[in-house]
Structure 1
Amino acid sequence: MEFDNNIPIYIQVIHDIKKDIVTGKLALGDKMISGRDLALMYKINPNTASRIYRELEAQEICFTKRGLGTFVTEDKERICNIRKDMANDLLEQFISGMSNLGLQKDEIFSMLEEKYQKFDITENVK
């Protein structure tokens, strides 16, 4: 993963893990890799990996069973809400960017419709 220097690494990794969860790469109740393995996978400090798991627990995205490891939440509604939040963030960035270019709502919709028709969405849905 390439990190953006303008965003703290732990936030970027949390976002990546959330994406894996909402897309089903990590299923409800799945055991997550250890903090040590997370640090190796992302090439980050083990303390940062611990912080990531603490933050995910605070957001109720995962939970730890002492002696067994860390697991993805089993709360399907929680995952649906995370997915909606992530989608809303993307939409806000998109709309803000398009507005900053001086485009109006009807122009944005027209461009979006045209691009969507050329885009095979099934390639990006897993």
Structure 2
Amino acid sequence: MDFKDKQPIYIQIADYICEQILLGKWPPGERIASVRDLAVIMEVNPNTVMRAYEFLQNKEIIFNKRGIGYSAAENADQLVIVYRKERFMENELPELFKTMYLLNINIEELQAKYEAFVSEAYPETP
């Protein structure tokens, strides 16, 4: 995985896990990849993955079943949406608004681009 410099790697790994949950690859209540397996996949130290798991566990998105491993919480998808939406609104949206203002991009232009993106990227969604 290519990591960005703007945020800690464990947060980027947590975001990856959240994305997998939202995409249905790790459904609520189901076991997720082990710390070691994900460390190999992400090409990072297992301690970094463990930090991401602890972060998500504190947010109650995942939980540890002793002897079995980590699983997504039953309401993980809803918790992920709340967490990610909050972070987006606080961190990314102000930056987007700033860029829109500086480049004189109005909401209508943005909405048209957004609708085109959704129809191309997710055509099966109603």
Q: TM-score range by the shorter chain?
A: 0.7 to 0.9
Structure 1: 4+ residue segments shifted above 6 A: none
Corresponding residue for residue 25 of structure 1: 25
User: Of 112, 116, 119, which aligns to 1:118?
Assistant: 116
Counterpart Cα distance in 2 of 1:111 and 1:88: 24
> Judging changes above 3 Å, is the alpha-carbon distance between structure 1 residues 11 and 120 closer, same or farther for their aligned structure 2 residues?
closer
Question: CA contact under 8 A between 1:33 and 1:70: conserved in structure 2?
Answer: yes
TM-score by length of 2: 0.78
CA apart distance, 1:121? 2.9
Work out the CA distance in 1 between the residues paired with 2:27 and 2:9.
24
Cα displacement (A) at 1:73: 0.5
CA contact (8 A) 1:98 1:108 kept: no
Aligned ranges 1:3-18 → 2 under 5 Å? 3-18=3-18
Structure 1 pair 43–25 and aligned structure 2 pair: CA distance change class (3 A): same
Instruction: Say whether the 8 Å CA contact 2:61–2:72 is kept in structure 1.
Output: yes
**When the two structures are aligned, how many residues end up with a matched partner?**
123
Structure 1 residues 52, 85: closer, same or farther in 2, change over 3 A? Answer: closer
1:44-83 aligned at under 5 Å gives the runs 44-74=44-74, 76=75, 79-83=77-81
Change (3 A) 1:108 1:20: farther
In the TM superposition, residue 59 of structure 1 has moved relative to its aligned partner by: 1.3
Question: Which amino acid in the other structure matches residue 70 of structure 2?
Answer: T
- Residue 98 of structure 2 is matched in structure 1 by 99
The Cα RMSD (Å) is 2.7
Give the fraction of aligned pairs with identical amino acids, expressed as a percent.
Answer: 31
Q: 1:83 to 1:114 in 2, by over 3 A?
A: same
Kindly state the Cα deviation for residue 57 of structure 1 after the two structures are TM-superposed.
Answer: 1.3
1:22 is displaced (CA, Å) by 2.2
